[in-house]
Structure 1
Amino acid sequence: MPLPTDEKLLALSQDLLKQFDAIFGLNPGFRPAHAKGKLLTGTFRPSGEARSLTSAPHVVRESTPVTVRFSDSTGIPLISDNDPNANPRGCAIRFHLAKHVHTDIVSQSMDGFPTNTGQEFLELLKALATSDPANLKGSPLEAFLGTHPKALAYVQAPKPAPSSFARESYFGVTAMKFTNKDGVSRFGRYRIVPEAGNEHLDDAAVAAKGANYLFEEIVERVAKGPVRFKLMVQVAEEGDVVDDATIHWPEERRVQELGVLELTKAVMDDAAEQRQIIFDPIPRVEGIEPSDDPLLEVRAAVYLLSGRRRRAAPVA
C-alpha cells in the first residue's frame, strides 16, 4: 500500500501522528492509538445470504483464514484494562485471501466517531493535548466540545467495560459500498456481534479486576474452545447519510449477516506479529469499496505511516 501523493493529506496524516505522540508519548514499536493489543487466528465462513450483498472473495469461498487483533484504547502500551481511558476497545480483522493479498475491517466498541473529517479530529487532539480533563473550564477542549455537538455527544456517551473481548460488540466507523455479482450496490456499516452475547461490568466490578484481565481472559477462553462472532452489515436506505461517521442510521435499518468468525488460538509470536501487521481501513477488494467518507483516506495514511515507523523501531 503506497503513501498518498496528495501533499495536504500526507501533511495532515503526519500532524495527526505527531499529536498522538504529544498526548501519549513516543513508544517505539507500538501503535500511536490502541497500542495494547492481542492477536488471535481463526476462520471466517460466509452465510448463505452474504452473496446477495457482495461478491467479495471471502464471501464466495467456503472459508478464509483470519487474524483478529483486540485492543485497548490510547497509545499507552501498558494501560490497565480497567482504566476508563481503555475504552472504546478495538477489533481489527484481516482476511487472508492469498500470499500478500488481504482485506481488512477496523472496528471499535463505540458506534460512531467524534468528528467527520481528519482536520476536525486533529483540532480535537490538539485540544486534548493542551487541556486538563479534570479541569475543563476555560480549556481548549471545553471550547472545542462547545462548538462541536457530535464530539461532545461522543465524549459523554457511556463506555462500559466488557467482561471479555468475546462479550463485546464492535462497529465499523465508516460506511462501505457493497456490490453483488449482479452489480447491485448498497452502502452499509460493519457490526461484529459476539455469539456469547454482550456483557458489561459496573464500576465496582471493573475496579476489582486486574490490570490485564481482558488479555488474560481471552487467551484462557480461546484455549478452552472457539470464540465466535457474527459479522453483520447494517444496510443503509435511500437518503441515509453514508459519508459522515458522526451520523448514526436508525436502529430499524436492516442488519444482514455476512458470516461467522471463529477464533481458535492465540498467536504465539505475538509481539513480533503485532509490529509487522498494518491494518488498512480501506477494503481494496472486489465487491467492497470505500464510501466517500473523508476519514477513510487519512486513517489509511496514518495507519501506514505509523506501521512503517513501528516496523523500523529497534527491537527491545
Structure 2
Amino acid sequence: MPLPENQELNAVADDLVATIREAFGTPKHTRPVHARGQLTKGTFVPSPGAKYLSKAPIFEKPSTDLLARFSCDTGFSDIADTHKDSNPRGLAIRFLLSEDGHTHFDLITNTAIGFAVDRGEGFLAMFKHALGKITEEQLHKDWPFVAWYQRNRKPLWPMSFASEQWHGIHAFSLDGHDGKRTFFRTRLVPPQGVMKMGEEETKEKKGTYLFDNLEERLTANPPKPIVYNWMAQIADPAVDNLNDSSSEWPEDREFVHLGTFTFDRLWTMNEGEVPGRDQQRIIFDPKPRYMEGIGISDDPIIEMRTSVYLKSGLIRREANGVAGRDTPGHCVGR
C-alpha cells in the first residue's frame, strides 16, 4: 500500500491527520476517526450475474473469506452508541485474496449518503473550524455544500448493525471481460429491511447497545449472522458526477445485485500467533489496487483517503509496538 506520488496531497494528508487528532485529543495508538470498533469475520458469495459485469475473481469464485470492522464515528474510543456524534457509522470489509491475507481488496462504507466536501482540503477546513482556527463564515464561503449537508443530514440510529444500510461514497468501475466499464456506487442492504430510530428513542437504550447486540449475535450457539446484499447503484455517465463524493445520484438509478456478505463470528484481540498483533496492524486501503476487474474514478478524495489512512495507520502501528516492514501489499482498519 504505497503513498500517492503527489507530494502536495501527502502534505495536506499530514495536516489532516494531525488536525483530526488535535480535534478529538486522540492518542497515537488509536484511530483518529472511527476509533471505537469491533472486528469480525465472514464470507462473500457472488450473485450469478456479477461475473458478466466484472472479471474480478471475487465474482468467479464460489466464495471469498472476509475480515470486517464495524465502527462508530469520532476519535473517542469510548463514545456511546447513543451519542449523536457516533454517526455516521462505518463498515470496512476486506476480501482475503490469498491464504496469508497479504493480498486483499477493501470495501469501505459508512451510513451517510454522500460526503460534505469534494476534496480533502474541505475536510481539513471542517476540522480547523471545529478547533476555532477558521470561522464558520469562511468555512461556508469556501465550501458552501458543508452548510447544506450539516442542516439536512440529521442522524438516525439503527436498531442494530444487522438492520443498518451502508454506502460507498466514491464511484468505482466494474470492468468486464469484453472491455466494458460500468461505473457504480456501493450500497449494502440488509435483506430483512432497514430499521432506524430517532434521538428520543435512543434514551431507552444502553450506551453500548449496538456492540452488545453484535457480540450477542455472533457468539450465540448457533450464531445469528449479520447479512447484507451488495448492491451496485449504476451511474448514468451522461448525468451523474463520477468524481465528486458530495454529489448524490438519483434513487431511480438501476441497482444490480453483486452478491451477499455474511458475518458470523467476532475476531477478538486474544486470537493469533501473537495475540492481537494482526488486529492492531490492519490498515484498510481505499483503492482496489490488487483487484483486476474493479477500477476507480478520478474522485480526488480517493487518493487523499489513501494517504490519510496509511499515514494514520503507521502512526498507530508504531504506538502499539507492531510496526515493521510489510511484504508487498500487506497492510493488515482505518
TM range (shorter): over 0.9
Q: Does 1:230 align with 2:225?
A: no
User: SS of the residue aligned with 1:62?
Assistant: coil
Cα deviation, 1:135-155, whole Å, max 9, x if unaligned, reads: xxxx71354235533212221
**Which residue identity is paired with 1:110?**
A
Q: TM-score, normalised by structure 2?
A: 0.88
**Could you state the TM-score of these two structures normalised by the residue count of structure 1?**
0.93
Secondary structure class of the residue paired with 2:156: coil
Identity %: 37
Number of aligned residue pairs: give it.
309
Distance 1:38 1:195 in 2: 22
Equivalent of residue 109 in structure 2, options 82, 107, 110: 107
* Letter of the structure 1 residue corresponding to residue 113 of structure 2: D
Q: SS at 1:232's partner residue?
A: strand
1:103-182 alignment runs, 5 A limit: 103-130=105-132, 140-145=135-140, 148-156=143-151, 157-182=153-178
Instruction: Rate the CA distance shift 1:145–1:208 in 2: closer, same or farther, 3 A.
Output: farther
- Could you tell me which of 183, 192, 197 is aligned with 1:187? 183
Identify which range, 265-274 or 241-250, moves more after superposition. Answer: 265-274
C-alpha distance in structure 1 between counterparts of 2:186 and 2:230, whole Å: 7
Residues in 2 aligned to 1:17 and 1:30: alpha-carbon distance in whole angstroms: 12
**Matches of 2:304 and 2:127 in 1, distance apart?**
15
Deviates more, 1:179-188 or 1:143-152: 143-152
Q: Which moved more, 1:204-213 or 1:229-238?
A: 204-213
| 2:299 alignment counterpart | 293
Matched, 1:64 2:97: no
Give me the whole-angstrom Cα distance separating, in 1, the residues matched to 2:137 and 2:91.
30
> Which residue type is aligned with residue 140 of structure 2?
L
Which residue identity does 2:255 align to in structure 1?
V
Residue 229 of structure 2 aligns with an amino acid whose one-letter code is K
The answer to whether the 8 Å contact 2:4/2:306 transfers is: no
SS in structure 2 of the partner of residue 29 of structure 1: coil
Residue identity in the other structure for 2:293 = G
Instruction: Report the secondary structure of 1:54's partner residue.
Output: coil
Q: 2:310 aligns with which of 304, 307, 311?
A: 304
Distance of aligned partners of 1:238 and 1:10 in 2 relative to their CA distance in 1, 3 Å threshold: closer
Local SS of the residue matching 1:292: coil
| Aligned-residue offset at 1:273 | 4.4
Q: Which runs of 5+ in 2 are unaligned?
A: 271-275, 322-334
Amino acid at match of 1:56: A
> In the alignment, what sits opposite 1:4?
4
Write out per-residue CA displacement over residues 162-188 of structure 1, whole angstroms, 9 at most, x where no aligned residue.
111111101001101211111110110
